[in-house]
């Protein structure tokens, strides 16, 4: 557990205007394995995954300017200039460029960060913000910038997600395209004189609660590295976000429960003291199952917990920040309110933090 001497002073997010899952299915054309020559319709996709629409706009998200603009808006809301930033961390599992952290070099330059700011790019998925917050809590920076983006439509629009007999998860790869969505978010953190909250993080590789370590990465993407380098037949077949369905369910439910128990141990009654609780939006079924457990066991209001996966799909690490941004813009959160973010994701990894929101404006 890390003590936090930090406050969130600026937040911004961007998602595309959601398209219906029926429109997505019509455009994407997932082959129906039961009837040759036919495709799954939106009704079937919605029945399987539970989402009604998604943020899906490859023409918009192919331009890094959308990340730059969103980041600059968070900085504007925090009333900071590029020269005020002491540290910056990027979180993404779908970079524009995969080698040598070139996304960080490009984005830092376009945002205007000083040359001594070290490029830090975390190749992280749905729990990326917890990893970034745990790292930020151990830094000495006065002003830290966190940037996250998911370019799901650019990665999953290829044919390998529809017809892939070489990938061990080939039959279910279309679900990744249907569930994961496009999103960008940025957060500005300011260091405070006194402790404001705490964060914790776990890989669960040595120990998972009282059990042995969890050994499945949840998302299998083994292509494009040294074991299956570009130019080889294996590379294309294995360069996919392949969901390990049963393992994801197991890790999500237990991982989120462990997060809650650890939060409760550190700060008993935290559910009543924080203004809002934002949990990772893995899927409608998993997210609602965990939230309903909290409601039943602790008697808290459903309004205290946000959900956006049904509308936007899984926005990866942007999902919780989008919820936070919406509440700030609508006035639900007031300056000084503490919020809790609790997430799990591929790796596997999980973490949570409690932190105040103090908008500069």
* Domain boundaries along the sequence of the chain: 1-361
| 3-state SS, residue 326 | helix
Q: Evaluate if residue 36 carries a pLDDT over 90.
A: no
Beta strands 276-279 and 338-345 are: parallel
Residue whose structure tokens are 């790292």: 135
* pLDDT band (50, 70, 90) for residue 279: very high
> What per-residue confidence (pLDDT) applies to 154?
96
> What per-residue confidence (pLDDT) applies to 360?
82
Backbone dihedral region of 327: left (phi > 0), alpha (psi from -120 to 50 degrees) or beta? Answer: alpha
**Where is average pLDDT lowest: 56-60, 151-155, 229-233?**
229-233
Whole-angstrom distance, CA of residue 259 vs CA of residue 256 = 5
* pLDDT band (50, 70, 90) for residue 46: very high
Whole-angstrom distance, CA of residue 171 vs CA of residue 135 = 37
| C-alpha pair distances (Å), 238 with each of 172, 220, 232, 280 | 13, 8, 10, 26
Residues 162-219 pLDDT 10s:
989 999 999 999 999 999 999 999 999 999 999 899 999 999 999 999 999 999 999 9
Whole-angstrom distance, CA of residue 208 vs CA of residue 225 = 28
Q: Evaluate if residue 361 carries a pLDDT over 70.
A: no
Q: How many helices and strands in the chain, by DSSP H and E? A: 14, 16
Beta strands 143-151 and 87-91 are: parallel
Q: Torsions phi, psi of 147, nearest 5?
A: -125, 135
> What per-residue confidence (pLDDT) applies to 255?
96
Angle between helices 65-78 and 102-111 (to 10 degrees): 50
State percent of the chain over pLDDT 90: 88
Question: 346 near 219, Cβ under 8 Å?
Answer: yes
Return mean pLDDT, the chain: 94
* pLDDT band (50, 70, 90) for residue 33: confident
The whole-number average pLDDT for the span 249-257 is: 95
Whole-angstrom distance, CA of residue 65 vs CA of residue 36 = 41
Residues 281-334 pLDDT 10s:
999 999 999 999 988 888 888 889 989 999 999 999 999 999 999 999 999 999
> What per-residue confidence (pLDDT) applies to 204?
97
Q: Which two tokens stand for residue 5?
A: 């001497």
> What per-residue confidence (pLDDT) applies to 297?
86
The CATH label, of 2.30.30.40, 3.40.50.300, 3.40.50.150, 3.40.47.10, for the domain at 1-361 is 3.40.47.10
Residues 110-137 pLDDT 10s:
999 999 999 999 999 999 999 999 999 9
> What per-residue confidence (pLDDT) applies to 303?
87
């Amino acid at each position: 557990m890390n003590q936090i001497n930090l406050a969130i002073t600026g937040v911004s997010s961007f998602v595309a205007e959601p398209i219906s899952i029926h429109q997505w299915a019509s455009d994407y054309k997932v082959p129906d394995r039961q009837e040759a020559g036919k495709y799954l319709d939106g009704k079937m996709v919605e029945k399987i995954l539970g989402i009604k629409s998604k943020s899906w706009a490859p023409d918009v998200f192919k331009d890094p300017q959308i990340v730059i603009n969103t980041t600059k808006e968070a900085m504007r809301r925090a009333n900071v200039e590029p020269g005020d930033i002491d540290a910056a961390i990027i979180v993404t599992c779908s970079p524009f460029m995969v080698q040598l952290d070139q996304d960080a070099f490009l984005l830092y330059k376009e945002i205007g960060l000083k040359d001594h700011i070290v490029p830090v790019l975390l190749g992280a998925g749905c729990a990326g913000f917890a990893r970034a917050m745990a790292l930020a809590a151990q830094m000495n920076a006065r002003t830290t910038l966190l940037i996250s983006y998911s370019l799901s439509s650019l990665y999953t629009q290829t044919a390998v997600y529809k017809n892939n007999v070489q990938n061990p998860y080939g039959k279910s790869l279309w679900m990744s395209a249907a569930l994961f969505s496009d999103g960008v978010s940025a957060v500005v953190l300011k260091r405070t004189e006194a402790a404001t909250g705490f964060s914790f993080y776990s890989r669960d590789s040595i120990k998972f609660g009282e059990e042995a370590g969890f050994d499945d990465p949840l998302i299998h993407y083994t292509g494009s590295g040294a074991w299956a380098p570009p130019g080889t037949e294996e590379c294309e077949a294995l360069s996919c976000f392949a969901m390990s369905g049963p393992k994801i369910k197991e890790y999500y439910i237990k991982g989120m429960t462990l997060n809650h128990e650890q939060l409760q141990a550190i700060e008993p009654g935290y559910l009543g003291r924080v203004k809002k609780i934002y949990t990772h939006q893995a899927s409608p079924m998993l997210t609602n199952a965990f939230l309903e457990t909290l409601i039943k066991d602790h008697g808290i209001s459903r309004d205290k917990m946000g959900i956006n996966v049904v509308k936007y799909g899984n926005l990866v690490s942007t999902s919780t920040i989008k919820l936070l941004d919406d509440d700030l813009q609508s006035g639900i959160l007031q300056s000084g309110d503490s919020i809790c973010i609790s997430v799990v994701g591929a790796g596997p990894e999980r973490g949570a933090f409690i932190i105040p929101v103090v908008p500069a404006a």
